[in-house]
Structure 1
């Protein structure tokens, strides 16, 4: 898999997660699929703010991967050379958290997404093309 394809996959998955977080922040009753299912319906206001914060962080991570993949934000390229390793670490942590979640829905939906994000961010970080 090429760096560009990996960057596109990572960014596409990140966009889906961002949309999910925004939906939670706007009151979608999908809490059972996030934060260990602690809030099974609509998130309380404090969790909605956290969901928005997570969306912003994820957008930043997606931009780092796009920059390292040389697909967008070219002015960040030098920064992305080291920052992409934070993205990899974040993705690994996210995978672990989703795999150990008490929420079956979170494990079923978001753990596979997080694992693919680990793989694709690692390919981008290492800079290998597997064509």
Structure 2
């Protein structure tokens, strides 16, 4: 696998949680799949705003991986890329230990693919 392909895999994988964050921000009753299932239906207004922030952070993370992988012609600071890798790892761990079974089953594999792809971009 090349860093280019790994970066594309990361972007496609990260698009899934971005779509989820958009749905949560718009009031979809999917709270059991996020934030440890704290809010089983629609998120309260403050948490909807936080979903927008999380989505924006994911977009920045995609940008850093695509730039590092050579998919887009942009320079990315190494610290930003490594922060993306670290956040991806922490997110995978948080999903894996979530008290919400639906969240664990859905997001642990997705974030696991994101971590593997980011590491491929880093070390290939």
TM range (shorter): over 0.9
Query: Runs (4+) of structure 1 moved beyond 6 Å?
Result: none
Secondary structure, aligned partner of 2:99: coil
- Superposed CA deviations along residues 16-35 of structure 1, whole A, max 9, x for unmatched, are 11111010000010000000
Q: Distance in 1 between matches of 2:40 and 2:31?
A: 4
- Alignment gaps of 5+ in structure 1: none
Q: CA RMSD in A?
A: 1.0
* TM-score normalized with structure 2 length: 0.96
Q: Distance in 2 between matches of 1:67 and 1:21?
A: 23
Q: How does 1:49-88 map to 2 (within 5 A)?
A: 49-72=49-72, 74-77=73-76, 79=77, 81-88=78-85
> What is aligned with 1:13?
13
- Superposed CA deviations along residues 53-111 of structure 1, whole A, max 9, x for unmatched, are 00000000000000001111x2324x2x3422111111110011001100000000000
Tell me the matched-pair count: 124
* TM-score normalized with structure 1 length: 0.91
